[in-house]
């Protein structure tokens, strides 16, 4: 039976006012606890990284220093962007069970579900993708959060459905928030320090959404364009309710990401999109990072411009962007999936052409004149009887 609390931190108090209550999720590198602020009884999430035991004192100090630096950066990002999960505190504790150092982040508690959970549920219900306008509205807050980070020289490095959280809004809608900003860099730094590489290698991100340069550094440095690549893969997944990259394992995903013969295009995935939207997405997932959009903001500006020019989006709002929240998903019986082919004509009858409206107006005026003349003649006849 698996240990429900492998770090043994349930009940511990960290950073003064935060008590860890119970584990609520585990991954290869982390354990997430539900916690509470002891002063206000406000719920929080505490993400704890799992490092190897037996670190020497110098390595432990280096890990702690880098982690606290990244924690301060995450707090600054959260304060400047409402679409990024807020980091309340960060620090280092020790696992009473393993004796290993445990870096942790204290994060705001969010009500809702991850995009990955949303996609799983839609697949179980047999749905087959969202319309383009709905997909863009759903993911735009994530693009805004990424652009805010890119302007400050920060790269997420692990954009995927599991790190995009659909927060339920007071009005019953959904607004996306980005989780785990900078965590991939923290993992890369701390794993490097602890010499945690294995014979098969490691990636401090999900291989299914990793860009070519994350598999092979000779292709170029990781940068905002890396997040562009992953965000485009997520958008394509939302449009079809199917992952783009089917491979399992790092080596197979690397082959898919770097092989020109496996080039990703919406058309090859069975999607029918306007030509200019297709081109924008093909550019975003180019193997050569120099060909991609260079930030999330550039990608989203391009997508919204060509989608609007193709009649797929309404005119821009006064803020110049799509709404930051979208309606909550409807029941399964009323869901309408994206069409994977030409859609039949539907909707209200078209409005009459301007010339047709003018002719109708003239006929109406003539009818009123004739009616007036007839009425006057009748009155004259009645008066002369």
Answer yes or no: are the C-beta atoms of 33 and 20 closer than 8 Å.
Answer: yes
Per-residue confidence (pLDDT) for residue 354, from 0 to 100: 45
Q: How far is CA 352 from CA 344, 346, 359, 365, in A?
A: 21, 17, 11, 18
| Token code pair at residue 360 | 């109708």
Q: Which domains does the chain have, with CATH numbers?
A: 1-109 (3.30.200.20), 111-331 (1.10.510.10)
Q: Are 178 and 172 in contact (CB under 8 A)?
A: no
Per-10-residue mean pLDDT, the chain, length 385: 82 91 85 94 92 72 78 83 90 87 90 94 93 96 95 91 92 89 66 43 76 93 96 97 90 92 92 96 97 97 96 72 50 33 36 45 54 56 50
Q: How far apart are CA 190 and CA 12, in angstroms?
A: 23
Token representation of residue 273:
């999109």
CA angle 85, 89, 90 (to 5 degrees): 105
Q: Which of 187, 192, 160 lies closest to 176, judged by CA? A: 160
So what's the pLDDT on residue 349?
38
CA distance 309 to 317: 15
230 Cα distance to chain centroid: 10
Query: Where do we find the tokens 């794993």?
Result: 191
Number of residues in the chain: 385
Q: Using alpha carbons, list the distances in angstroms from residue 132 to 26, 61, 139, 193, 357.
A: 33, 48, 11, 43, 34
Inter-residue contact 85 to 48 (CB < 8 Å): no
- Residue 351 Cα to chain centre, angstroms: 38
8 A C-beta contact, residue 278 and residue 235: no
Q: Cα dist. 50→1, 36, 111, 267 in Å?
A: 19, 21, 25, 41
26 beta partners: 31
HEC profile for the chain? CCCCCCCCCCCCEECCCEEEEEEEEECCCEEEEEEEECCCCCEEEEEEECCCCCCCHHHHHHHHHHHHHHHHHHHHHHHHCCCECCEEEEEEEECCCCCCEEEEEEEECCCEEEHHHHHHHHHHCCCCCCCHHHHHHHHHHHHHHHHHHHHCCCCCCCCCHHHEEEEECCCCEEEEEECCCCHHHHHHHHHHHCCCCCCCCCCCCCHHHCCHHHHCHHHCCCCHHHHHHHHHHHHHHHHHCCCCCCCCCHHHHHHHHHCHHHCCCCCCCCCCCCHHHHHHHHHHCCCCHHHCCCCHHHHHHHHHHHHHHCCCCCCCCCCCCCCCCEECCCCHHHCCCCCCCCCCCCCCCCCCCHHHHHHHHHHHHHHHHHHHHHHHHHHHHHHCC
Q: Are 161 and 197 in contact (CB under 8 A)?
A: no
Paired residues of 32 in beta bridges: 25, 47
């Amino acid at each position: 039976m698996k240990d429900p609390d492998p770090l043994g931190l349930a009940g511990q108090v960290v950073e003064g006012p935060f008590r860890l209550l119970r584990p609520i999720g585990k991954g290869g590198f982390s354990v997430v606890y539900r916690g509470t602020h002891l002063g206000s009884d406000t719920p929080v999430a505490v993400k704890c990284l799992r490092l190897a035991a037996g670190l020497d004192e110098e390595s432990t100090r280096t890990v702690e220093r880098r982690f606290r630096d990244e924690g301060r950066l995450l707090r600054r990002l959260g304060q400047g962007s409402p679409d990024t999960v807020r980091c309340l505190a960060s620090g280092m504790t020790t696992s009473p069970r393993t004796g290993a150092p445990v870096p942790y982040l204290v994060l705001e508690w969010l009500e809702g579900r991850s995009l990955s959970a949303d996609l799983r549920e839609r697949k179980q219900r047999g749905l087959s993708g969202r319309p383009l306008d709905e997909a863009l509205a759903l993911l735009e807050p994530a693009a805004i959060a990424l652009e805010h980070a890119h302007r400050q020289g920060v790269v997420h490095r692990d954009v995927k459905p599991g790190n995009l959280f659909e927060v339920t809004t007071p009005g019953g809608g959904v607004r996306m928030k980005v989780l785990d900003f900078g965590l991939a860099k923290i993992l890369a730094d701390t794993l490097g320090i602890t010499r945690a590489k294995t014979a098969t290698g490691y990636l401090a991100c999900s291989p299914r959404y990793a860009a070519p340069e994350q598999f092979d550094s000779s292709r170029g440095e990781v940068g905002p364009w890396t997040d562009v690549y992953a965000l485009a893969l997520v958008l394509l997944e939302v449009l079809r309710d199917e992952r783009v990259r089917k491979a399992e394992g790092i080596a197979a995903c690397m082959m898919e990401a770097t092989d020109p013969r496996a080039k990703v295009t919406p058309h090859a995935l069975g999607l029918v999109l306007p030509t200019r939207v297709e081109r924008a997405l093909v550019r975003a997932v180019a193997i050569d990072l120099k060909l991609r959009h260079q930030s999330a903001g550039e990608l989203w500006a391009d997508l919204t411009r060509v989608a609007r020019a193709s009649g797929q989006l309404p005119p821009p709002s006064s803020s110049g962007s799509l709404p930051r929240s979208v309606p909550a998903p409807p029941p399964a019986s009323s869901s309408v999936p994206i069409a994977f082919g030409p859609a039949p004509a539907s909707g209200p009858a078209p409005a009459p052409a301007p010339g047709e409206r003018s002719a109708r107006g003239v006929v109406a005026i003539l009818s009123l004149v004739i009616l007036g003349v007839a009425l006057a003649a009748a009155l004259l006849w009645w008066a002369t009887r």
